[in-house]
Chains A and B, each alone.
Chain A
Amino acid sequence: MGRSYTLDDLQKWEARIYEKVQEFGLKCYPQEFEICDHVQMLGMMTYSGMPSHYPHWSYGKSFERLKTLYDYGVQGIPYEMVINSDPCIAGLMRDNSLCLQILTMAHVYGHNDFFRNNFTFDHTQASTVITRFKSHADRIRSYVEDPSIGQDGVERVLDAAHALSLQCRRNQAIRRLGRAEQIDRLLAEAESDRRDRVALGQKTANGPAAEHPDIHKFPLEPEENILLFIRDFNPRLTEWEKDLLTIVHEQALYFQPQIETKIINEGWACYWHREIMNSLDLPSDIHMEFLVRHNQVVRPIPGDINPYNIGLALWDRIEEKELGEARNHSEDRQTPDIRKKMFEIREVDRDTSFIRRFMDRETMERLDLFEAAPQHGDWVISKVADEENWRSVRDMLIQSVGLGGIPRIAVTDGDVDGARTLLLTHEFDGRELEAKYAEKTLEHVYQLWGRKVMLETRMNDNETTYSFDDSGLSITAEFGEAQYPSF
Chain B
Amino acid sequence: MGAVFRPYSPSDSLQSDRTSGDRQRHREKLREALKRNIADVISEQSIIGRGPDSIVKVPIRGIKEYRFVYGSNNPQVAQGNGDSEPGQIVGKTRQQGKSGDGKAGNQPGEDYYETDVTLEELVEIMFEDLELPDLESKPLRQIESDYTHKRSGTKQVGIRAHLDKKKTAKNRIKRRFVHEKIERARQQDAAPLTPEPPPVPADEQEEARFPFSQRDFRYHRHKPDIRYESNAVVICIMDTSGSMNVMKKYLARSFFFLLYQFVRLKYRHTELVFIAHDTRAREVNEDDFFHRGESGGTMISSGYQKALDIIRSRYDPSLWNVYAFHCSDGDNFQEDIPKTLKLAQELCQCCNLFGYGEIKPAGGVSWGTPMLKYFDEINEPNFETLGISSKADVWPKFKAFLSRDKQTPAYTGNIFDPTG
| Residues of A that sit less than 8 Å from B by CB | 7, 10-11, 14-15, 18, 30-37, 39-40, 42-43, 46-47, 55-61, 63-65, 87, 94, 105, 151, 159, 162-164, 166-167, 300-306, 309-310, 367-374, 377-384, 393, 396-397, 400, 405-407, 409, 426, 430-438, 440-441, 444
Q: How large is the interface on B (under 10, 10 to 19, 20 to 34, 35 or more residues)?
A: 35 or more
Please classify the interface of chain B as helix (H, G, I), strand (E, B), loop, or mixed, using the class held by over half of its residues.
Answer: loop
Contact with A along B86-117 (1 / 0, CB 8 A): 11111111011001111111110001010000
Residue of A nearest to B18 (CB): A43
B19 neighbours in A (Cβ, 8 Å) = 42-43, 46-47, 59-60, 63
> CB of B168 within 8 A of chain A?
no
Closest 9 A/B residue pairs (Cβ):
A60-B26, A60-B22, A31-B3, A440-B66, A60-B23, A35-B8, A57-B25, A368-B80, A373-B75
The one of A31, A60, A87, A400 in contact with B27, judged by C-beta atoms closer than 8 angstroms, is A60
**Contact status B84-A381, CB under 8 Å:** yes
Contact (Cβ within 8 A) A437 B79 = no
17 inter-chain pairs at a CB distance below 8 angstroms, sorted by A residue, are A18-B1, A55-B21, A60-B21, A64-B26, A65-B111, A167-B68, A302-B79, A304-B78, A369-B78, A370-B80, A371-B75, A373-B75, A378-B90, A378-B91, A433-B70, A434-B107, A440-B66
Asked if B26 and A37 sit within 8 Å, CB to CB, the answer is no
Q: Given A377-B93, A409-B68, A437-B69, do A393 and B77 touch, yes or no (CB 8 Å)?
A: yes
Which of B8, B27, B73, B88 is the one whose CB lies under 8 Å from A37? B8
Task: Compute how far the CA of A379 lies from the CA of B91 in the bound complex, rounded to whole angstroms.
Answer: 5
Determine the residue in chain B with the shortest Cβ distance to A373: B75
Which chain A residue lies CB-closest to B84? Answer: A370
Are B90 and A64 in contact, with the CB atoms below 8 A? no
A42 to B18 CA separation, bound complex (whole angstroms):
11
The CA-CA distance from A160 to B382 in the complex, in Å, is: 46
A384 in contact with B68 (CB, 8 Å)? no
Known contacts A30-B3, A60-B22, A60-B26; A434/B92 CB under 8 A: no
- Known contacts being A371-B77, A407-B70, is A378 close to B92, with CB within 8 Å? yes
Closest beta carbon of chain B to A63's beta carbon, Å? 4
Min distance, Cβ A308 to any Cβ of chain B, angstroms: 12
Chain A CB within 8 A of B387 CB: no
Tell yes or no: B198 within 8 A of A by CB.
Answer: no
The yes or no answer to B5 lying at the interface (CB within 8 A) is: yes
B74 at interface by CB-CB < 8 Å? yes
Residues on A with beta carbons closer than 8 Å to the beta carbon of B2: 11, 14-15, 18, 31
User: Across the interface, do B69 and A407 meet the contact criterion of CB distance under 8 Å?
Assistant: yes
Distance of A76 Cα from B23 Cα, bound (Å): 21
Instruction: Let me know if B313 is at the binding interface, CB within 8 A.
Output: no
The answer for the CA separation of A15 and B73 in the assembled complex, in Å, is 50
> Once the chains bind, are B1 and A30 in contact (CB under 8 Å)?
yes
Nearest CB of A to B177, in Å? 54
Chain A residues contacting B88 (CB-CB under 8 Å) are: 380-381
Query: Are A370 and B77 in contact (CB-based, < 8 A)?
Result: yes
B71 close to chain A: CB less than 8 A = yes
B15 sits at the interface (CB 8 A): yes
Q: Are A303's CB and B79's CB within 8 A?
A: yes
Give Cα A277 to B281, complex, Å: 86
The CA-CA distance from A434 to B68 in the complex, in Å, is 7
Task: Report the stretch among B57-65, B126-134, B264-272, B389-397 that lies at the interface.
Answer: B57-65
A contact residues around B3 at 8 Å (CB)? 14, 18, 30-33, 105
Say yes or no: A434-B72 contact (C-beta < 8 A), given A33-B3, A46-B19, A378-B89.
Answer: yes
The reply to whether the CB of B194 lies closer than 8 angstroms to some CB of chain A is no
Q: How far is the CA of A288 from the CA of B9 in the complex (A)?
A: 31
Would you call A434 and B100 a contact (CB within 8 A)?
yes
Given contacts A60-B24, A379-B89, A444-B66, contact A301 B79 (CB under 8 A): yes
Most B CB atoms within 10 A — which of A64, A65, A309?
A64
**CA separation between A65 and B30, bound complex, in Å?**
14
- Kindly state whether residue B6 has any CB partner on chain A within 8 Å: yes
For B90, the chain A residues whose CB sits under 8 A away are 302-303, 370, 372, 378-381
Q: Judge whether B81 is part of the interface by a CB distance below 8 angstroms.
A: yes
State the Cβ distance, A115 to closest chain B Cβ, in Å.
15
Do residues B66 and A63 form an inter-chain contact, with CB atoms below 8 A?
A: no
Q: Closest approach, in angstroms, between the C-beta of B104 and any C-beta of chain A?
A: 8
Residues of B near A63 (CB, < 8 A) are: 19, 22-23
The verdict on A379 contacting B62 (CB below 8 Å), with A367-B79, A368-B82, A434-B102 known, is: no
Q: Quick check: is B204 within 8 A (CB to CB) of the other chain?
A: no
B67 adjacent to A55 (CB under 8 Å): no
Quick check: is B76 within 8 A (CB to CB) of the other chain?
yes
